[in-house]
Amino acid sequence: MPPSIITHVAFKTLMSAQIHAFMVACPVSPAASRAVRWDQLKAQIQDVARHYCSTFHAERTGQLRALRVFASHARDAYLADPTSQAALDQLRFTAPNLFIFFLGGRAIHYICEKHMQRKNHKGNVQAIR
């Protein structure tokens, strides 16, 4: 689970609501000790965080897939007609968005690491598709 989810406003809101719901549903009683209640709350927090991460990952994967398709079309349009201003504008729009996408969800070292793996395994640097 990435620690960066703590900065997501949606995650904070969801977690606050879940903790509040837990406190209302499981009030302090002589039958349940505080330790048992705390363990139950920790398990619920882990479940909510896991579910949030999997949903967030699926959304980001879909966004990346759409951005890659758009980037591929922009590249193809530019290669077909390098003098086209519209194709150049599409490339200017796509490149920073791909970079921002990766910086927003993944550290830059991940990108560099993948680049080095390609270089080491293939013997040369391949263009990003």
Q: What is the pLDDT along the chain (129 residues), one digit of tens a residue?
A: 667 777 788 888 999 999 999 988 887 777 778 888 889 899 998 999 888 888 888 887 888 888 888 878 887 887 888 787 887 777 777 776 776 666 655 544 455 555 556 655 554 444 444
DSSP letter string over 34-95? HHHHHHHHHHHHHHHHHHHHHHHHHHHHHHHHHHHHHHHHHHHHHHH-TT-HHHHHHHHHHH
- Chain center to CA of 111: 14
> What tokens appear for 72 in the block?
């591929």
